[in-house]
Amino acid sequence: MNRLRKRLATALCLALSCAATGIGWAASNEVQAGDTPPVVPLLHAPAGAPNVVVVLLDDVGFGAASTFGGPVKTPAMDGLAREGLSYNRFHTTAVCSPTRASLLTGRNPHAAGVGAVLNSPSSYPGYRGVLQKDSATIAELLRQQGYSTAAFGKWHLTPDWEASPVGPFDRWPTGQGFEKFYGFIGAETDQFNPSLYDGTTPVLRTASKDYTLNEDLSTRAVNWMHAQHSIAPDKPFFVYFAPGGTHAPLQAPRAWIETYRGKFDKGWDDMRLEILARQKSLGVVPQDTKLTPRPDELPAWESLSTDQKRVAARLMEVYAGYLAHTDAQIGRLVQSLKEGGQFDNTLFIYVMGDNGGSLEGGIHGGDSYMGRLQGMPETPAADLVKRLDSLGGPDSYVQYPAGWAWAMSSPLPWAKTVASHLGGIRNGMVVSWPARIRDHGGLRSQFSHVNDLAPTILEAAGLKAPADVNGVKQRPMDGTSLLYSFADKNAPEKHTTQYFEVFGNRSIYHDGWLASARHKDRDPWASTCQGKRLADDTWSLFNLNEDFSQSTDLAARLPEKLKQMQALFLAEAAKNQVLPLQDTACSRTPLPNLTGKRTEFSYFAGAVGIPEAEAPAIKNRSYSIVATVDIPTGGAHGVIATMGGTTAGWSLYLDDEGKPVYVQKVFDVARMEITGSKPLQPGRNVVQFDFAYEGTGYAKGGTGTLQVNGTAVGSGHLPVTTPGFFSADETFDVGMDTGSPAGRYTVGYPFNGAIERVDILLR
């Protein structure tokens, strides 16, 4: 019996790979009586290593938050600034995906493979939008050194062709070092009906009439932190919290918007003056800071009509409510850490924006900015005035005018995507760590960059960047730890050189000087390019040591200095995969696509979360959707197939009475809805929608016909169709609608019959 037990123990140990875990063996390969096998070791972070929370907001200019003199109250950031340090010369990359890649890897964005926003990549290595394995994330480094890791909110670092249920998933958050992910994969999502993932699985939002994504994310983050501390109180955690705020669509609970009613009626020109006055009063900018002039491309507030002013002011109220509501959720994280006794030893980094305010709303902003980006007609201000109070609510998809984006960057010039100017690349940042920071309420003015955050976290944790990660030799980090600045506000800056480039807009910082060239091929909100050459761009030169706001061009006075800076830019560009320089907004190259050249597709129940770019391209052509369904006794309802959402998209579904419906919305421009007169009968049914496109070219109209079992039950006409895309984040789904509803139904609206198949034929 004893011999049998030994054999069983040996077999079990082999099955569990005991030898690989370091458990010793006796010479006879049998565990001897009295032997005590060693315990499998757990990973431990260095003693005293802090928790780390990194908060990254979206599309917030330097002058928006009250912490940095802005008109929007941000008490969470204000409180952290009082307890920690404010950085007034912190910089991002001027656009979202590159900033996130740089923050998480500590590398320059092009070097990490994400020099372009994922919506407009190219085939060149620095612009491909694919995180490189030689640039491991800070999450992966911390995870391998004993930290728990989690990401909540926006990701936007997974290429479209890898963002479907077939993967691969190594560039999803859970493949980049995060043990937990809850949020959205793309650039933006609806605050009231988001497209959500838990790990790599599409999920529906919680059913609640008061639901907002902001609150959902903060609740999930707080609960996760509580669980970590309860289960392993000595194990530090890393939380990357990146809410959608304040990326469009601008949406917030009505009460938060109403707080700012009437606050922006004076317009953006006056607002910039007010912001600069507050900034000087707070001491967050030097007293001699100059207000940079309004760009010629933007209109004066007084040039707007009365209706245009009313709409513009309301859109800014929506934005302010959205930012305030977002900051309140950061406050929940802070309060949770304090209540749990974790705050003192938490390195809390709060970055107010991944770039400047968004100019993508154009001159007037509007209720459907996605359509305007594709050249669709704008909704007249007179029509928007009639529904001012609904703007920012569940049925709107708004963006504010470019003038407000510029104003929220006060006193700096320009805003998002304009990497040549500080309004695009300078953002406010606050750092708190009570256990180490003693200069409560201190201001730091050393040049710093988003790629400094990963090295800062490593040094704070007592760790070094490894030479190899998962068998891949690592590119050295480009950032510099900021810990040197925590104790000494006068410490010489260590990050002395940094390039910037987005859409051909480019600049180079070195030892207090900035040389910049704005590529004027198109306005930042325009949908068309003019064909201007990058080589013809004009360069400017600024001494930022004496000119905080980049207000005085010294190029004509110091031509030799400018030449030195231009040469330095080329050298840095060559080192970081920026060359060949290109404007990816105007010159895109073909990239991988899951649909290939297919014109026939078959899908089955459960096919959800398929990115629009990887689903059948029904735009600008004729097509058919053929659904074979089984209806149970008593009838059925729910979504059969859908793409897009509230702002634009289509849905084929059975309504609550069981009648077939096809609906397609083209932003605020057109809508077609066809409803059958009778519910589908129990048994097998074929529901078919055919669309006959009119003529050739983009965004033409067409006629739609709905059939049930070969018999037409209705038809309709669309005068215009969507030319390029319905949304930035909504997906193609079969059997339910995982994002905002494209039809007249409740969240998700799952089909309660059986879907045999859905065929889509492109003609």
The pLDDT of residue 24 is above 70? no
Query: Quick one: average pLDDT of 309-338?
Result: 98
Does 125 reside within a domain?
A: yes
Instruction: Report helix, strand or coil for 748.
Output: strand
Burial 413-439 (b: 16+ CB within 10 A, else e): bbbbbbbbbbbbbbbbbbbbbeebbee
Q: What is the pLDDT of residue 593?
A: 87
Q: What is the pLDDT of residues 66-108, one digit of tens each?
A: 999 999 999 999 999 999 999 999 999 999 999 999 999 999 9
Q: In terms of domains, do 83 and 111 share one? A: yes
For 216, half-sphere exposure in the C-beta direction (CA atoms, 13 angstrom radius) is 27
Q: In terms of domains, do 62 and 100 share one? A: yes
Computed over every residue of the chain, the mean pLDDT equals: 93
Q: In terms of domains, do 148 and 189 share one? A: yes
The distance in angstroms from the start CA to the end CA of the chain is: 75
Q: In terms of domains, do 149 and 222 share one? A: yes
Does 11 reside within a domain?
A: no
| Of 446, 467, 490, the domain-final residue | 490
Least confident of 20-29, 415-424, 537-546: 20-29
| Of 490, 518, 548, the domain-final residue | 490
Q: Which domain holds residue 526?
A: 502-575
Q: In terms of domains, do 524 and 615 share one? A: no
Q: In terms of domains, do 483 and 507 share one? A: no
Does 608 reside within a domain?
A: yes
497 in Cβ contact with 509 (< 8 Å): yes
Q: In terms of domains, do 284 and 424 share one? A: yes
Q: In terms of domains, do 357 and 466 share one? A: yes
What CATH number is associated with residue 249? 3.40.720.10
Q: In terms of domains, do 445 and 535 share one? A: no
Q: In terms of domains, do 86 and 223 share one? A: yes
| Of 461, 490, 519, the domain-final residue | 490
Does 4 reside within a domain?
A: no
Predicted confidence band of residue 636 (pLDDT cuts 50, 70, 90) = very high
Does 252 reside within a domain?
A: yes
Q: What is the pLDDT of residue 586?
A: 84
Least confident of 25-39, 270-284, 440-454, 568-582: 25-39
Q: In degrees, to the nearest 5, what angle opens at C-alpha 668 toward C-alphas 526 and 244?
A: 65
Q: What is the pLDDT of residues 141-173, one digit of tens each?
A: 999 999 999 999 999 999 989 999 999 999 999
Q: In terms of domains, do 559 and 621 share one? A: no
Query: Quick one: average pLDDT of 38-45?
Result: 78
Q: In terms of domains, do 383 and 257 share one? A: yes
Number of separate domains in the chain? 3
Stretch (H or E) spanning 281? helix 268-282
Q: What is the pLDDT of residue 1?
A: 45
Pick from 59, 54, 55, 53: nearest CA to 728? 59
Predicted confidence band of residue 29 (pLDDT cuts 50, 70, 90) = low
What CATH number is associated with residue 668? 2.60.120.200
Q: How many CB atoms lie within 10 A of CB 224?
A: 18
Does 591 reside within a domain?
A: no
Does 580 reside within a domain?
A: no
Does 495 reside within a domain?
A: no
Q: What is the pLDDT of residue 23?
A: 31
CA distance 140 to 457: 13
What CATH number is associated with residue 571? 3.30.1120.10
